Chain A
Amino acid sequence: MLREIRPALSLVLLFTLILGVALPAAFTGLAQAVFPFQANGSLLERNGQIIGSALIGQNFAGPTWFTPRPSALSGTDAKGKTIATPYDASESGGSSSGPTNAGMFGNVKSRIAAYLKAYGPGPVPDDAVTTSGSGLDPDISLENALRQAPAIAIARKLPPATVTALVNRLAAHRLLGVIGTDHVNVLKLNLALSRMSAP
């Protein structure tokens, strides 16, 4: 038993130095040199200022923006009370409500009512009223975006066809008919929208 202490200990320490220190340091150096955009989190700039990450959703509310999916993230305020902090990317996670959770259905019902009020009668896409796994979902379904487009066009005094065309232009589609889904990145959509007209 004792004869194994030296090899075990030195192997663990050596692997820690190689795999835990040298390797990540070298790989980070290489990543920063060759793919700095991705390595730093795909940060997007506008007028020289970083406005977010292309991969991470942001919170948008109000009639002039495309609205992202509900986010289940929460934090505490200065008084220690739990408050909703949607799209706070210093944390991540879903709601963890089960399929028979009464509270979850209450939330979904009020979101459905709000959705119908904002975008008029019609189908309610599943993704528009349910929380995502990460709380930072950057995308909404193409159906959801197209449902929102006319109301946003009115709020921004743009022709509805222009906004719908923008959605279709930025949409990502299922690859080879199998991989991925039909969706739109909300930040990129709103960024393009803000270039067309001031909110």
Chain B
Amino acid sequence: MTTYGILYIGLALILVLGSAFPLGAYMARLFEGKIRLLAPVETGIYRICGIDPARQMGWASYAIALLMLSVVHFGLLYAILRLQYYLPFNPQHIAGMAPMLAFNTAASFTTNTNWQAYAPESMISNGAQMFGLVVHMFISAAAGIAVAAALMRAFVSGGLKTLGNVYVDIVRITLYLLLPVALVAAVVLLIAGIPMTFDAFPTVHTLAGGTQTIGRGPLALQEAIKELGTNGGGFFNANSSHPFENPNALTNLFEIWLLLVIGFALPIAFGHMVGRKREGIALFAAMALILGLAMVGDYAAEAANNPILVHAGVMAKPGNMVGKEMRFGIAQSTTFNTAATGTSTGAVNSVTDSYTPLGGLIPMFLMQLDEVAPGGVGSGLYGMVLFALLAVFVAGLMVGRTPEYLGKKVQSREIKLAMLAVLIQTMFILAGAGFSLLTKSGLGSLDNAGPHGLTEMLYGWTSATENNGSAFAGLSANTPLLDYGLGLAMLFGRFAVLIPVLAIAGSLALKPKLPQSTGTFPTDGPLFVGLLIGVIIILGGLQFMPADTLGPLAEHYLMLAGKTF
């Protein structure tokens, strides 16, 4: 470890955390319907789509409309992928996607996961990237934020029967948040060297006398929303380690900022919405503490290098460079990958599969904590509120009082739903990875032997279920078992959390808002932040300890002993 690495992590966090405050204040105004700069455009959209913006939806209608939107969009993407050969913008003449891979990919982008079982350069056309994937990157991100906004409204006052209008929320979040920021970011990334062209791959005569065909396409815009919406679907197989997706250290820092900023602005917006800013800051602090520790830990693991490599004769410094890009080195690679797994961004700027065992464990553990540090756009905030409800419940049990959160009584219905959301993800991850490893097909997908193979499979199911999308890239995921299995895991990981969250929002909204009394457990101080982090680690993380011990931890000690497979 060097001082500059720690300084870099500090710099990245300061840039993100500092800008989260003004952005959060702006987003609160947006959720309250006070931002109406483009009112005529909005009205036009509502008229064309037959949307009544004045309609208020209860939690069930909100959930049904969101599901319907997802079903329709899933179907459209599936069709686009199957038919891409016949659609425009296909200069490389790429064939239609096979049914199982198209199912997996459609599930992946509908759920904001962006798991990529395909190699983009040879398996997806420019057109399918643009009007298939990029549109999902906007809508799935907006949908996640909309659910978070609906949940926030449940805490604002008492006796509310409705949570807002999902269509209006999605349109406004897209128009006033995602689109403007993505456009500015796309211009910055374009100037920094990210291509934006519809032309085919050029073949050039290289300096040494060979030829080289250079993949390119309309990716500057995709890159911007890919990070901002915590999507992560790369235009290229190598994702943000590809020089065209991430040309230099400044774009790397900018991409880290983009993928974290909305996640950290959401708790601030929450504080503004409920009229108690400190409540938002408490959630924000828990997120920042977990992420900051993970970033430092991951950097330390990779900077320590692999003793077997050092023994073979390479310089110990700067650290483990396998799978990393020279322009990023160690700290800027680990910071990107931990930021991406702390959110639900499936982007990577280095190969996590080639990280040291502990360096790979930390990103996986961040996902296993149900991605709340700060989590995907929207999903991170509502995941964090679920943990906050569980934390006040645990505190209530200790002192024998009915727990309250922000003036709302937390009762058995809310706790049951919150536990359902947490447990369903754990079940998919552990049962899915365990089952896959019992099958011949699953074992055939592994690229590495020994405990690392177990980690590859566990990481894959964790990433899909938690809707992250990053991968231990050695896992060959385009098999019937994993295409369908992980596809289902992504759908359940998204909707089996999102629907309970909306149900909780509906039930909390109805309850009266109780005034604070001296007996109220304060949820805006360091005591609560500590309790919250404890609950996240115990409930989110502890269930994975046995699996994580057999995979990365076992491999760590074997690596120290010089064992290879």
| Least CB distance, B474 to chain A, in whole angstroms | 4
The answer on a CB contact under 8 Å between A41 and B195 is yes
Q: List, in ascending order, chain A residues with CB within 8 A of B64's CB.
A: 1, 4
Does B275 belong to the interface (CB within 8 Å)?
no
Could you tell me the distance between the alpha carbons of A139 and B327 in the complex, rounded to whole angstroms?
7
Residue of B204, B317, B322 most packed against chain A (CB within 10 A): B322
Residue of A87, A100, A129, A179 most packed against chain B (CB within 10 A): A100
| Least CB distance, B391 to chain A, in whole angstroms | 35
The answer on a CB contact under 8 Å between B473 and A93 is yes
Q: List, in ascending order, chain A residues with CB within 8 A of B448's CB.
A: 96-98, 100-101
B161-194 interface with A by 8 A CB criterion: 167, 170-171, 174, 179, 183, 186, 190-194
The answer on a CB contact under 8 Å between A89 and B357 is no
Query: Chain B: which residue is nearest A53 at the CB level?
Result: B214
Does A61 belong to the interface (CB within 8 Å)?
yes
Q: Give me 20 other A-B pairs in contact (C-beta within 8 A), A10-B49, A190-B207 excluded.
A: A27-B183, A41-B216, A54-B193, A90-B121, A93-B119, A93-B237, A99-B452, A101-B448, A102-B564, A123-B315, A124-B313, A124-B314, A126-B305, A126-B314, A133-B348, A138-B243, A139-B326, A179-B250, A180-B327, A181-B329
Q: Mark A1-29, 1 if CB is under 8 A from B, else 0.
A: 10011111111111110011101100110
| Least CB distance, B350 to chain A, in whole angstroms | 5
Return the contact of B354 from the options A20, A98, A180 (Cβ within 8 A): A98
Could you tell me the distance between the alpha carbons of A140 and B329 in the complex, rounded to whole angstroms?
10
Does A146 belong to the interface (CB within 8 Å)?
no
Could you tell me the distance between the alpha carbons of A39 and B204 in the complex, rounded to whole angstroms?
17
- Given contacts A20-B131, A96-B474, whether A52 and B326 have CB atoms under 8 Å apart is no
The answer on a CB contact under 8 Å between A9 and B72 is yes
- Given contacts A38-B192, A39-B190, whether A14 and B49 have CB atoms under 8 Å apart is yes
Q: Mark B320-337, 1 if CB is under 8 A from A, else 0.
A: 111111111100110000
The answer on a CB contact under 8 Å between A133 and B351 is yes
Of the listed stretches B133-141, B265-273, B424-432, B498-506, name the one at the interface; the rest are far from the partner chain: B133-141
Query: Chain B: which residue is nearest A62 at the CB level?
Result: B208
Query: Chain A: which residue is nearest B50 at the CB level?
Result: A6
Q: List, in ascending order, chain B residues with CB within 8 A of A59's CB.
A: 206, 208, 210, 212
Does B493 belong to the interface (CB within 8 Å)?
no
| Least CB distance, A139 to chain B, in whole angstroms | 4
The answer on a CB contact under 8 Å between B212 and A88 is yes
| Least CB distance, A101 to chain B, in whole angstroms | 5
Q: List, in ascending order, chain B residues with CB within 8 A of A43's CB.
A: 202, 204, 214
Return the contact of B135 from the options A15, A87, A181 (Cβ within 8 A): A15
A-B contact pairs, 18 of them (CB 8 A): A4-B65, A4-B68, A11-B170, A16-B135, A24-B134, A38-B195, A42-B193, A53-B214, A90-B213, A92-B237, A123-B315, A126-B309, A126-B314, A132-B323, A133-B323, A133-B350, A137-B325, A137-B326
- Given contacts A11-B51, A53-B214, A58-B207, whether A181 and B327 have CB atoms under 8 Å apart is yes
Give the contact-size bracket for chain A: 35 or more
The answer on a CB contact under 8 Å between A181 and B249 is yes
- Given contacts A15-B135, A53-B214, A100-B564, whether A41 and B197 have CB atoms under 8 Å apart is yes
The answer on a CB contact under 8 Å between B237 and A16 is no
Interface size of B in residues (CB-CB distance below 8 Å): 122
Could you tell me the distance between the alpha carbons of A19 and B132 in the complex, rounded to whole angstroms?
10
| Least CB distance, A69 to chain B, in whole angstroms | 7
Return the contact of B236 from the options A92, A183, A187, A194 (Cβ within 8 A): A92
Of the listed stretches B3-11, B276-284, B392-400, B526-534, name the one at the interface; the rest are far from the partner chain: B3-11
Q: List, in ascending order, chain A residues with CB within 8 A of B351's CB.
A: 93-96, 133
Of the listed stretches B290-298, B369-377, B378-386, B555-563, name the one at the interface; the rest are far from the partner chain: B555-563
A157-199 interface with B by 8 A CB criterion: 172, 174-175, 177-181, 183, 187, 190-191, 194
- Given contacts A11-B49, A39-B190, A56-B214, whether A91 and B122 have CB atoms under 8 Å apart is yes
| Least CB distance, A96 to chain B, in whole angstroms | 4
Query: Chain B: which residue is nearest A87 at the CB level?
Result: B212
Could you tell me the distance between the alpha carbons of A64 and B309 in the complex, rounded to whole angstroms?
28
Could you tell me the distance between the alpha carbons of A181 and B322 in the complex, rounded to whole angstroms?
16
Could you tell me the distance between the alpha carbons of A28 and B322 in the complex, rounded to whole angstroms?
35
The answer on a CB contact under 8 Å between A12 and B190 is no
Q: List, in ascending order, chain A residues with CB within 8 A of B449's CB.
A: 101
Q: Mark A32-72, 1 if CB is under 8 A from B, else 0.
A: 10010011111100100111111111111110010001000
